[in-house]
């Protein structure tokens, strides 16, 4: 291998290294630069969508009758597949529906603390839709 070929080979390695470094930098920057206020806004929007539907929306998703929770309807939602439920609510983010009393204590739904929603969300040490 001639001196010129060694230099050319070495410079291609440097160029590839710089390209990989720049790509990693841009991916890292893109992840960190997401506006937290935009994420919070999307979460609030999804929460509003869910609240409207469980209170006054589609009768198959509504669990509130007047000022009372309809436990049989809540049980039906609780037994639904989470991905199907998420699709029916038409929301992007994960969620957990649970009920609190006026003091902030979680109220039992059908004798369990389990909420309705994502199995990844933790409520006071219990997974939201743990079965």
- The per-residue pLDDT for range 105-119, each reduced to its tens digit, is 777 766 665 688 888
Whether residue 8 sits in one domain with residue 53: no
Whether residue 81 sits in one domain with residue 99: yes
Whether residue 29 sits in one domain with residue 91: no
Whether residue 102 sits in one domain with residue 44: yes
Whether residue 46 sits in one domain with residue 59: yes
Give the pLDDT band (50/70/90) at residue 12: low
* Structural domain containing residue 41: 34-127
Whether residue 9 sits in one domain with residue 57: no
Of residues 86 and 27, more confidently modeled:
86
- pTM equals 0.65
Structure tokens at 52: 């409207």
pLDDT at residue 31 in the model:
60
Number of domains in the chain: 2
Dihedral sign for Cα atoms in the order 102, 108, 113, 118: negative
Whether residue 70 sits in one domain with residue 19: no
Whether residue 41 sits in one domain with residue 28: no
pLDDT at residue 35 in the model:
72
pLDDT at residue 34 in the model:
65
Q: What percent of the chain has pLDDT over 70?
A: 69
**What's the burial of 54, exposed, middle or buried (CB within 10 Å: 0-12/13-18/19+)?**
buried
Report DSSP state, residue 112. Answer: B
Decide: 77 and 85 in contact? Cβ < 8 Å: yes
Whether residue 26 sits in one domain with residue 15: yes
Decide: 62 and 52 in contact? Cβ < 8 Å: no
Whether residue 41 sits in one domain with residue 24: no
pLDDT (tens digit per residue) in 45-93: 888 888 888 887 667 888 888 778 888 888 888 888 889 989 999 998 8
Whether residue 120 sits in one domain with residue 60: yes
Whether residue 27 sits in one domain with residue 38: no
């Amino acid at each position: 291998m001639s001196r010129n070929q060694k230099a050319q080979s070495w410079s291609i390695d440097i160029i590839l290294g710089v390209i990989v470094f720049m790509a990693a930098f841009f991916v890292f920057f893109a992840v960190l630069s997401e506006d937290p206020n935009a994420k919070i806004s999307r979460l609030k929007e999804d929460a509003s969508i869910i609240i409207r539907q469980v209170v006054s929306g589609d009768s198959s998703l509504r669990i509130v009758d007047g000022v009372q929770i309809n436990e049989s309807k809540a049980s039906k939602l609780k037994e639904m597949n989470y991905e199907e439920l998420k699709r029916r609510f038409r929301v992007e983010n994960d969620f957990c529906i649970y009920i609190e009393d006026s003091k902030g204590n979680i109220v039992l739904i059908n004798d369990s603390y389990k909420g309705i929603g994502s199995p990844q969300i933790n409520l006071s040490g219990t997974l939201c839709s743990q079965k």
